[in-house]
Chains A and B, each alone.
Chain A
Amino acid sequence: MTHDTPITEDELHAYVDGELPPERREAVEAWLSAHPGDDARVHQWRAMSEMLHETYDHVIDEPVPARLSLDRLDQRPRQWAAMAVAATLAAFIIGGGAGYALRGATTQSPVAASLTGDALEAHRLYVVDVRHPVEIQANERAHLQQWLTNRCGWQVRAPELDAQGLKLVGGRLLPGPTGPASFFMYENASGERFTIYASRADSETSNMRYAAKDQDGAMSWTDKGVGYVVAGPVDKQKLTQVARLVFDQSEQAGQKL
């Protein structure tokens, strides 16, 4: 008999959820008939699922509210979806090239520290906003870049981050530690958001640094007198890849006005 085969709790769950490999089915059923306690648990778990269905299945039969009609939701412009495919390969190749570490100063100045703090605050504040996360949306990219350039006093460009699956949502102007700051927001297909904050720093260049606060991480560095902070979910590797793309493109742009 199969009674001696040890049955794990995971297998009991898998049995209830229809995830058990067919060849284990007999063994689990034999186990259950020999172990009333486990059999009762399995029944309770099934009853739980039934209760959930009894409580929530009626939602399925409700008429879908008009505000969830796709035609209605679709009226907003969608042009920035088209940009997603462009330049992906190019960005990848550029991203592979430049090194960014070991670039000058080793201690972080108060301005740089404050910049990272401000950037993380801005990130926390705006990423949770679904409908108005930005002042100017990505469909006015050229206008957004020109406006931020005029206000900040250096060449501001929203980098292409398609290589990391990130699309520009838009941007806004924010206060920084010593003057105005530019702020761009990006998001990927599953709704994760990254932001790029840039403001005048008090040094020419610095190393890239990593900082994390609560559930947000940030990579920051200074280049040509401008401090950059890339903030996103705490995933150092992913943040590094995004930061690298941003760095490589700011290098290209020739920042100073």
Chain B
Amino acid sequence: MTSFRDSVETMIPALRRYARALTRDADLADDLVQDTLVRALRSEKLFLGGDMRAWLYTILTNLNRNRRRSLARQPVLTELYDTPEPSGTEAESRDITRALAALPEEQRAVLLLVALEGLSYRDVADIQGVPMGTVMSRLARARAHVKSILEGERPALRRVK
């Protein structure tokens, strides 16, 4: 009886990590997780077994898509990095964060689901509702894009001073 709740509960930390990386904003990420959990609890009777983990990522992904759509007509706010250049690991993590931010939404989600959350290509295809081939091409493009940014090719439209 409690197994559904238990399974949902054990997934919370991983969902928070994914949402944090996806949105790069701690509050927004927890909002997304909270909404995901509310929906999951409400849909308990509709969950007819299967992969709980993939199901929860699917809900979160759909919610994030809805959220982004509602933001689509608002101006895009970008951060200005006027603080001194950091060093070491901090700089590295800023670079990967910046690289993530530069990716189109679907590519970012694929890269994170595969490389951070360790989901299978099959699961990611189901989560995004696309064929495996699309997952593969998104993954390839995401990795190529991140590589170019980490190697110092700044996106052309940023850093216009």
Give residues in A with beta carbon < 8 Å to B. 9-10, 13-14, 17, 19, 41, 44-45, 48-49, 51-57, 59-62, 64-65, 67-68, 70, 73-74, 76, 78, 80-82, 84-85, 124, 127-131, 165, 167, 187-193, 215
Contact = CB atoms under 8 A, between A and B. Distances in A.
Interface string B40-84: 011111110000000100110011001101100000000000000
Q: Which secondary structure characterizes the binding site on chain B?
A: helix
B85 interface: no
A59 B26 CA distance: 9
Given A64-B16, A80-B42, A81-B42, A54 B34 contact: no
B112 A52 contact: yes
Given A48-B146, A52-B112, A73-B34, A188 B96 contact: no
Given A13-B140, A48-B96, A190 B30 contact: no
Nearest to A74: B41
A140 to B, nearest CB: 16
Contact of A215 (B20, B69, B95): B69
Nearest to B96: A51
Contact of A70 (B9, B46, B70, B112): B9
B23 to A, nearest CB: 12
A82 B45 contact: yes
Contacts of B59: 189-191
B136 A10 contact: yes
A52 B62 contact: no
B63 A191 contact: yes
B114 interface: yes
Nearest to A124: B69
A61 B13 CA distance: 8
Contacts of A62: 13, 16
B93 interface: yes
B134 interface: no
Contacts of B21: 52, 55-56
B55 to A, nearest CB: 7
B139 interface: yes
Given A51-B96, A53-B116, A65-B30, A128 B46 contact: no
Nearest to B26: A59
20 contacts: A10-B140, A13-B140, A17-B115, A19-B120, A48-B115, A48-B147, A53-B116, A55-B21, A55-B97, A60-B14, A67-B34, A68-B12, A80-B42, A81-B46, A124-B69, A130-B38, A167-B46, A189-B59, A190-B58, A215-B69
| CB-based closest 3 A-B pairs | A128-B70, A191-B62, A189-B46
A247 to B, nearest CB: 24
A45 B150 CA distance: 11
A17 B135 CA distance: 13
Contacts of A191: 39, 58-59, 62-63, 66
A129 B21 CA distance: 22
A187 B58 CA distance: 14
Contacts of A189: 43, 46-47, 55, 59
B45 A51 contact: no
B89 interface: yes
Nearest to A48: B146
A49 B20 CA distance: 16
B100 to A, nearest CB: 8
B42 A64 contact: no
B121 A85 contact: no
Contact of B43 (A55, A61, A68, A81): A81
